[in-house]
Structure 1
Amino acid sequence: MLGSRPERVTIRHVAEHAGVSVAAVSKVLRNAYGVSDALRLKVEDAIETLKYRPSTAARAMRGRTFTVGILVVELTNPFIPTLLEEMDAGLAQASYKSMVAVGRAASKIETSMIETMIDNRMDGLILIGPQISGNVMAEYAKQIPIVALAHHEPNSSFYDTVNSDDYCGAQLAVEALHAQGHQDIAMLSYDHSGQPSSVVAVAREAGYRAAMERLGLEAWMRILRLPNPSLSRTRGLAEFLAMPDRPRAVFAWSDMDALRLLSACHEHGIEVPGQLAVIGYDDSAVAGLPLVNLSSINQKPDELGRCVSDLMLSRIEGRTEARHVLVTPQVVFRRSL
């Protein structure tokens, strides 16, 4: 009839067009284990031809919403967007949508946002750099699948973790500076009192100490602390550069502070690397810009993102044993060394 609405394409139409069962189509949509390439190609061709769009409402009635919540404490770290893109791409391949929420490094705000995501029937939660304790996270993980990124708690049996091997990465940073002839190597970190020991800075500080001891540089070992990242760094960096015994080389715990340090050096007329060699951690996009040229530790964000999405999907599919993944980082050498 003229003006009547076209019939909605259903999963049954897709199955008929592909010449397979409805169950087979469902397996492809869920990216289930054991689906052959030939079956996947048939179903994907049928989906494309028929312009099939799975009904989120219908999925929710069967117990899933096909949405995953991603909670990130802050977005100022230029490393975060790349991670989000990789995670979203991995989830999308299994027909899941991600919903990103931005919080602050305060436990009450984090827990409130996690509870909101649970109330909205997310199928799983990805937490990036969570500041809540492992015990609190474990309680939430009893209610919903959780994968935590940038959270070192390898003994947890209730949720998964994915991390850059921060202990190893910090040692690589020290070794890179030492290879350039430096001995007076300090670490620029921050005041993380009040935060759980699972934060990445703790592992990086441990790696720095281990490398300095192994290289026989204990006499030069020192960790200089800026205020918490939520506070201004201007005064702290100026005081660092004005130190009468300022180190000859510095490993900054993150590109966020390494980049600020480069800017402060420029403002104070301190030549990098002539007067101060600098290496950061994250290898953010800004670090590679020609006018910046910051040496840094690359965390392999594509691999981290894929690991997170893969673990989340397998958790949703029913896996219960905890997995803890460490991705080995690598040094990227640029002009700041």
Structure 2
Amino acid sequence: MDKPARASRVTIRTVAADAGVSVAAVSKVLRNAYGVSDSLKQKVMTSIDKLGYRPSTAARGMRGRTFTIGVLLVGMDNPFLPPLVSSFKQAMGKEGYNTLIGVGEARTHVESALIDSMIDMRIDGLLLIAPRISGATLDHYAGQVPISVIGHHENTAKTFDTTNVDDFSGGRAATEALIKKGYRDIAMLCLKHSKRRDGEVWYERERGYHAAMQEAGLENFSRIVRIAERPDEMQPQLLTLLEEPGRPEAFFCWSDIHGVPLINAARMKGLRIPGDLGLISYDNTAPAGLPLIGLASIDQNPTILGQCAADQLLSRLKGRAEASHAVIEPELIIRKSF
């Protein structure tokens, strides 16, 4: 039996012929070049959609750009990330860039391997969200590709850009809100860690918590309770914490990753929130705002974070050399959990 004939590959010349324009005009549309009229763009995009044309990433890379941006996430299970990534992708997409997403699993060797692979694929830039690799390693990669980092405080960095919420201010604001409500024995629920790395968001939030407690003369009550991040390890630790006779009056949770399971576990045990326990968390994710959860939380405005990181990368790609470090003010979203 004869093999079916392979469909000929659609090229940029095929698109140009179908649209009745030059190859150079199609190239300008694909590059989102300055001065392209709406009518030309519409004509070319109609032919691209009809023919199913896909630009060759390899060929574009040989000409200088692939119009692809790598995005490295710390994980897939944090509800804070989807609106941030969506905002970033939308902003980059308007400028003709696709995004390639990898998950680092909060492991430095996995993150490094993924970044190496993305660079080998000739990405034009890289967004890192809450990376666990060090600032020195970021410097190394920033020498190869433009990098913007969210969730890493290092405003002295000269080779890469950062966009962050003021996590120190957020931690202090959450703790101050609990103090103003009359709580005194306030603990902070935070990550377990083997080694603190400069720039990590949880450490900045811890600093804000300690500052608020000290300013209120409550430093004798200050304590950090460290809980695992994995759900299968976290849940039994939260239950044990709630059963302790010396349980604090209130908790400031470093993230909704812990805050939402904690308020859920407390209510399942019959505790009144507030009343028996006061809670404020961080990230203001969608689960925190559900009526049956009602968890007060610090809003980082992920949409603005994503847009800001995209702006940083786009300006780097246009030639900016000096580092940019953007800081966004957080906001406490008040709900009836404290």
Report deviation, 1:218.
2.0
Residue aligning to 1:335 = 336
Deviation at 1:284, TM superposition (A): 0.4
Distance in 2, Cα, partners of 1:114 & 1:11: 39
* Paired AA for residue 183 in structure 2: H
**Percentage identity across aligned positions?**
40
Partner of 2:178: 177
- Aligned partner of 2:4 in structure 1 is none
Report the TM-score when normalising by structure 1: 0.87
| d(CA) in 2 for partners of 1:199, 1:11 | 53
Specify the alignment match of 1:130 in structure 2.
131
Whole-Å separation in 2 of the counterparts to 1:258 and 1:4: 55
Tell me the amino acid that sits aligned with residue 66 of structure 2. T
Identify the residue that residue 204 of structure 1 maps to in structure 2: 205
Of 278-287 and 242-251, the range deviating more from structure 2:
242-251
Give the match for residue 111 of structure 2. Answer: 110
* Counterpart residue type for residue 298 of structure 1: D
- Corresponding residue of 1:94: 95
Secondary structure of 1:9's partner?
Answer: helix
Within-5 A mapping of 1:1-337: 8-10=14-16, 26=28, 30=31, 41=38, 44-48=41-45, 51=48, 55-57=55-57, 58-229=59-230, 232-337=233-338
Alpha-carbon displacement from aligned partner over 1:240-280 (angstroms, at most 9, x marks no partner): 21222211111100001001111221232211111101111
Q: Which SS does the other structure have where 2:194 is aligned?
A: coil
Structure 1, gaps ≥5 residues long = none
Q: Is the CA contact (8 Å cut-off) linking 1:186 and 1:223 kept in structure 2? A: yes
Instruction: Judge conservation of contact 1:29–1:94 (CA < 8 Å) in 2.
Output: no
Contact 1:131 1:195 in 2 (8 A): no
SS in 2 for 1:188: strand
CA distance in 2, matches of 1:310, 1:15: 32
Q: Distance in 2 between matches of 1:187 and 1:134?
A: 26
Amino acid at match of 1:55: P
CA distance in 1, matches of 2:109, 2:275: 46
Change (3 A) 1:282 1:248: same
- Measured after TM superposition, the shift of residue 61 of structure 1 is 2.9
- In the TM superposition, what is the alpha-carbon distance from 1:62 to its structure 2 partner? 1.2
Paired residues of 2:187 and 2:252 also in contact (CA < 8 A):
yes
Against the structure 1 CA distance between its residues 184 and 272, is the aligned structure 2 distance closer, same or farther, given a 3 Å change threshold? same
Aligned length: 326
**More divergent stretch after superposition (208-217 vs 150-159):** 208-217
SS at match of 2:15: coil
Point out 4+ residue stretches in structure 1 off by more than 4 angstroms: 3-7, 11-16, 28-32, 39-54, 228-231
Moved more, 151-160 or 183-192: 183-192
Give the TM-score taking structure 2 as reference length. 0.87
Shift of 1:216: 2.7
Q: Deviations for 1:187-242, whole angstroms, at most 9, x for unmatched residues? A: 11122222522221000000111112223322322211113557611232123212
Residue aligned with 2:265, SS:
helix
- Residue 285 of structure 1 deviates from its aligned partner by 0.7
C-alpha distance 288-225 of structure 1, shift in aligned 2 (>3 A): same
Q: CA deviation at 1:11?
A: 11
- Give the aligned residue type for 1:113: L
For 2:201 and 2:157, how far apart are their aligned partners in 1?
Answer: 16
Give the drift of 1:13.
6.1
Could you say what secondary structure the match of 1:186 adopts? strand
Give the Cα separation in 1 of the matches to 2:296 and 2:243: 23
Counterpart code for 1:105: A
Check conservation: 1:142, 1:158, Cα contact below 8 A.
yes
* Offset from partner CA, 1:54-75 (integer Å, 9 cap, x none): 7344532311111011111211
Q: Tell me the CA shift for residue 43 of structure 1.
A: 5.0
Q: Which residue type is aligned with residue 91 of structure 1?
A: M
Contact kept, 8 Å, 1:153 with 1:161, in 2: the verdict is yes
Q: Secondary structure at 1:207's aligned position in 2?
A: helix
Question: Residues of 2 paired with 1:55 and 1:283: CA distance?
Answer: 39
Q: Distance in 2 between matches of 1:247 and 1:99?
A: 44
